[in-house]
Amino acid sequence: MIKIKSIAELKKLAQKRGFECVVLLNGGLGSRKTVSYNPVTKMWRVRNHIDDSRQVLTTRQLNTKSYTHVGEAIKKNALIYRT
C-alpha cells in the first residue's frame, strides 16, 4: 500500500483514470473511495463506496472536511492505495 502525500500527487494519479483509494479510520477500518480529476474543468469526482454517493468538488472543497475527508486524510498520512 502506498500513502498519498499531497494534492499534487493525488491529482497526477487521478488524471490517468479514476482510481480506488482508502481513507484510513481509527480502529484500523477504512473508507473506500474512487477519485478522478478533470484537468480541463479542474473538478474532482469522488465516489463514496460506503453509500454509493457521488460528489463533484473543487480543490478547495476537496480540502474541506465538511465536504469530504480526502484532504484531511492526506494531511494525516491516512490516504492510501494499492499499486
Domains in the chain: how many in total? Answer: 1
CA dist., res. 46 & res. 28, Å (int): 22
Residue span of the structural domain in which 38 resides = 2-81
* Per-residue pLDDT tens over the stretch 18-42: 889 999 988 778 999 999 999 999 9
57: pLDDT confidence band, cut at 50, 70 and 90? very high
> How many CB atoms within 10 Å of residue 54?
10
Cell 502525500 identifies what position?
A: 5
Report the distance separating Cα 41 and Cα 59, nearest Å: 11
